[in-house]
Structure 1
Amino acid sequence: MTRVHAFSDDALGDLDAVGLVEHLQAGKVSIPEVVDAAIARTEQVADVLGAVAYADFDRARREARSPRGGFFAGVPTFIKDNVDVAGMPTMEGTDAWTPHPAKKDGDFARMYLATGLIPLGKTQLSEYGFSASSEHPRLGPVRCPWHTDHTAGASSAGSAALVAAGAVPMAHANDGGGSIRIPAAVNGLVGLKPSRGRLAQDAAMRQMPVKIVADGVVTRSVRDTAAFFREAERVYRPLEMPPIGDLTRPGRKRLRIAMNTTGLARGADAEVTRLTEQTARLLEDLGHTVIEVEAPAPETFADDFLLYWGGLALALLNGGRRLRGRTWNRDHHDALTVGLARHARRNLHRMPGAIMRLRRSNHDAALFFDKYDVSLTPTLATPTPKVGHLDPSRDYEVVIDRLQDWVTFTPLQNVTGTPAISLPLATASNGLPQGMMLGSGFGQEAVLIELAYELEQARPWARIQD
């Protein structure tokens, strides 16, 4: 097994983001020392992992000498390369146009950086975020640091690989079909997809017919995720849902938890089913009630979601030259993007019905969480595949079938707008992390974070450096 990480006894040490803040505030390390350590670590692992889309280390060093305020002041981070950051290009995991630096921060980056985080650059994703494995035919794959023969997931693959490898303690991720939770599960991290509207978002995400995308972070500890949402809430506070607040410990309430391993049209394999049942027994040992249920979605869900996913690809390809200018080249797209667009074009007559049914899922989710406090599923249906299994240059029908075999649990919460968190509670027989996913009702992130604290204490997860 080829395992890659950059943990050492430098200024970052083994610290998570909250631990790093404590060391900075105590004067044990300085911000320039921390940023220099993060740059050195990134340079150590960047080539083998393929995780960095754009580096701006000079900017990071300048900000380290004159940091902005905020709880995370001086904590190094990366931002996924599908949101705008002033002075950095936004390429969205493709090479279909000539990049130019963004003129200003997008709405998400403005909120994210207001917490004090210092960006070292931007991270690689699958093309437009469509695939659950970042393996661009020209830009190359993003590899899992736990075993570099395997994919780091997607679409937030670069962010997750760098956090897992110890380059930075926290990085931005976003999620339109599982793209916070999938790479968190693959790389042994905590990944919380928040409720729809919980965080500020760029305009393109807000204008979708079904608003499936949510931004967040990937971290190595529950307390880092909790602290990020606490600090984000101080910058951007959505009034339509209860606040998350300052959560630092497990909750006391014993919960009704609905477990499902059959998924949406396709279910978990035997090994992942067994690991999910082990997690259910752990929850029962902690005093919670676990009830096995059917997936809370209609039979049409998987086909409807795929058609909508394809519609996004079709819109991007049709509008590419208008959005990106004369350098845009339609031929510089992988077969998966083109195949998704073709699928949508051939089935446009079905799109209105699919969108109507997907929107109705909000109501179904509300009814489900009237009966249960939390849902439990595996994050992914099988152990992590090797690089090449989901190669987007392969025949579209082959790749989309393999993707649906692997990613059957995560899209539901994107459509319903409800929160879900992946925790690295299991290890597959291949020695790689296997995430378990917990979901809850709209605006109920606090329930998930408190339960995550409890599970982290009861079953501490493996660390790549051990």
Structure 2
Amino acid sequence: MEDATAETALAWRDALRRGDVSAREVAERYLRRIEAHHELGAFLAVIGDQAHTDATAADARFAATSRSERSTLPRLHGLPIAVKDLVEVAGMATTRGSAALRHRVATADAPGVAMLRAAGAIPLGKTQVSELGLTGYSENAIAPPARNPLDPSRTPGGSSGGSAAAVAADLIPMGPGTDGGGSIRIPALACGLVGLKPGLGAVPGDLAAAAPSLHDEFGAPRLTVSGPLARDPADAAMLFDAQRGATGEPALAAVRAADELTGLRIAYSAASPFASVYPIALSAESGCAFEAARERLAARGHRMDEATFAYDPEYPEAFTTSWTAGLSRLALAPDAAARLMPLTSLFRERARARTVEAHERAGARLRDFAADARQQWGAYDAVLTPGLTMLPPRVGAFTSMHPDDDYRLQCEWAPFTSMVNVSGLPAVAVPVMRLPNGHAMGVQLIGRIGSESQLLQLAAQLTSP
């Protein structure tokens, strides 16, 4: 593939606002790229006609705006995006990556999509996901698997894997994702991108009016949030500011001033709560990236402290129970249930067999874990962990296994992400090095509540020369 990093989203945004290029020209450029690289399986559906209509309307708005008033244009004026197919887009079917569900056409945008449309973004289509967003890879029974642009034989991660593949291959300049256990950060790390998981509640649409509680129906911490996938921290900051409807662009301003950030106390640790049940071992490449990140942050004047974090050994069981508890409410006819992916089917059977009290006990255990993790990590300004433990597995590697082995491999590959969702804290995945074979390796930084901009500054320090 030709170089996919020639243009940043920020560069496109500025060119659109200057009038150097039209929204229709940008949309057509990306639609051509999507068509040319369909073999990546990044997109489930493309809405070229609607994108042309939206781009034409954006160009008309630009033409009606005087040069002196162009600052009033929406902040993402004319920028193409794509939406993972767990999220509703008006006029498009939502498959949730499942052959077992009816694929209903949405009558309205989900809140996060509506926010980005209001900011001027133009959706080009829906991207590939894992079934119901359950797994860290993007393979299902309704469409070809998403593939990693850095090595198409390997997975781009999941569940935002189609979106990550699209950004990494320059099929869209940046993209929104959702993250309930690592679904932004795993694909970002697999594809060499920056992926921000905001803290719970940082993006308003994540706690909708219909479900504003910080806990789910069984009392477990609410896990899923929305955040950006981008090729650099500035692009991620621009999209994050739009996703949360911020006044101005404070995250982007912070990234631009990243060189001024110094003197933080940052812990580093390769401890994982999954180590109580699975062997967690860093590959040489993963360990090298972790060491490189420590050295770069220390060179920026931060105090790097090796930390000894102790995690509840019952976390793996409690998390797995709570992560799949919603499947107990998934009502399906027998013929539809037979169309579930094997992992979904097995975990649904187990969830349905548990009592409500068992789900509630797991939820209570995770609440205790969250409080303990926040206390341990809170002694520092940020916590550095490894990213993924090894290169992305091959497409089909997970699904060729028994579901229990599939799940085990996911936990061994990405053992540092779900604990942050449980805590409710923000975290960012950052690429640190590009390997000779073209693959990327990165790290994760965990912050305090409200520290998303600071995390993006640290990401900028890690990715700057």
Q: TM-score, normalised by structure 1?
A: 0.88
Instruction: Say whether residues 1:232 and 2:231 are aligned partners.
Output: no
Secondary structure of the residue aligned to 1:119 is strand
Cα distance between partner residues in 1 of 2:309 and 2:417: 12
Indicate which of 224, 229, 240 corresponds to 1:218. 229
What's the CA shift for 1:138?
4.6
Cα distance between partner residues in 2 of 1:385 and 1:49: 16
* 1:54 partner amino acid: A
Secondary structure of the residue aligned to 2:441 is strand
Secondary structure of the residue aligned to 1:291 is strand
Q: Deviations over 1:187-245 (max 9, x none)?
A: 111100001011113758756342100111211111111112223343699xxxxx857
* 2:52 partner amino acid: R
Indicate which of 18, 24, 28 corresponds to 2:10. 18
Indicate which of 292, 296, 301 corresponds to 1:278. 292
Cα distance between partner residues in 2 of 1:429 and 1:296: 36
Indicate which of 282, 285, 301 corresponds to 2:315. 301
Match of 1:254 in 2: 263
Instruction: Say whether residues 1:71 and 2:75 are aligned partners.
Output: yes
Instruction: Say whether residues 1:86 and 2:90 are aligned partners.
Output: yes
Match of 2:273 in 1: 264
Cα distance between partner residues in 2 of 1:310 and 1:85: 25
Cα distance between partner residues in 2 of 1:187 and 1:270: 17
Indicate which of 42, 45, 57 corresponds to 2:48. 57
What's the CA shift for 1:74?
0.3
What's the CA shift for 1:346?
4.3
Instruction: Say whether residues 1:201 and 2:206 are aligned partners.
Output: yes
Q: Deviations over 1:390-422 (max 9, x none)?
A: 11x632122112112112100011111100000
User: More displaced, 196-205 or 413-422?
Assistant: 196-205
Count of paired positions: 436
What's the CA shift for 1:5?
5.2
| 1:307-322 to 2 correspondences below 5 Å | 307-316=321-330, 319-320=331-332
1:428/1:301 CA distance change after superposition, 3 Å: farther
Match of 1:111 in 2: 115
Instruction: Say whether residues 1:394 and 2:401 are aligned partners.
Output: yes
| 1:291-370 to 2 correspondences below 5 Å | 291-295=305-309, 297-316=311-330, 319-320=331-332, 329-348=336-355, 350-370=358-378
| 1:22-61 to 2 correspondences below 5 Å | 22-46=14-38, 48-61=39-52
User: More displaced, 24-33 or 422-431?
Assistant: 422-431
Match of 2:303 in 1: 289
1:166/1:303 CA distance change after superposition, 3 Å: same
Match of 2:416 in 1: 409
User: More displaced, 64-73 or 345-354?
Assistant: 345-354
1:6/1:90 CA distance change after superposition, 3 Å: farther
* 2:78 partner amino acid: G
| 1:159-198 to 2 correspondences below 5 Å | 159-198=163-202
What's the CA shift for 1:258?
1.2
User: More displaced, 134-143 or 53-62?
Assistant: 134-143
Q: Deviations over 1:137-175 (max 9, x none)?
A: 452211001111101110000100011001111112100
* 1:215 partner amino acid: S
1:14/1:205 CA distance change after superposition, 3 Å: farther
The answer on whether the counterparts of 1:265 and 1:302 sit within 8 Å (CA) in structure 2 is yes
Cα distance between partner residues in 2 of 1:295 and 1:141: 37
The answer on whether the counterparts of 2:101 and 2:336 sit within 8 Å (CA) in structure 1 is yes
1:105/1:332 CA distance change after superposition, 3 Å: same
1:395/1:236 CA distance change after superposition, 3 Å: farther
Structure 2 unaligned runs (5+)? 62-72
The answer on whether the counterparts of 2:115 and 2:245 sit within 8 Å (CA) in structure 1 is no
1:5/1:126 CA distance change after superposition, 3 Å: farther
What's the CA shift for 1:328?
8.1
Secondary structure of the residue aligned to 1:390 is coil
Structure 1 unaligned runs (5+)? 8-12, 238-242, 322-326, 459-466
The answer on whether the counterparts of 1:249 and 1:454 sit within 8 Å (CA) in structure 2 is no
Secondary structure of the residue aligned to 1:404 is helix
Identity in percent? 32
